[in-house]
Amino acid sequence: MHRRYIDIQFLAWGEEKIGIAIDTGNNKVSESLLEQRDIIFYHDSEHESFIEMIPGSYAIFFPQDVHRPGCILQTASEIRKIVVKVALTALN
């Protein structure tokens, strides 16, 4: 999860499942790198759902969205994706 950026992820090829959840504040932090890289890792996410990404699909994650990319959809496969980070300050 990020605090200062919106993530736009476009899957060019391969298949991927991404876990998503709204940040309820109840998730146990595994590692916080907010200051260095604007990212928090959690042990698990409360009320997590999944989206399936196939080539040509995209997802947009806002700061309140906990997201866990790189989950295996059916079988492990290489993926290529484009990730664009939009600074929230750029939207003001």
- Ranges of H-type helices in the chain: 34-37
How many beta carbons lie within 10 A of that of residue 43, not counting itself?
A: 9
| Residue predicted with more confidence, 46 or 84 | 84
CATH number, span 5-91: 2.60.120.370
pLDDT per position as a tens digit, 42-71: 887 888 999 999 999 999 999 889 888 888
pTM of the full predicted structure?
Answer: 0.81
Distance CA 57, CA 40 (A): 25
Task: End-to-end CA distance of the chain: give it in Å, rounded.
Answer: 21
User: Residues with Cβ < 8 Å from 48, sequence gap 6 or more?
Assistant: 19, 20, 21, 66, 68
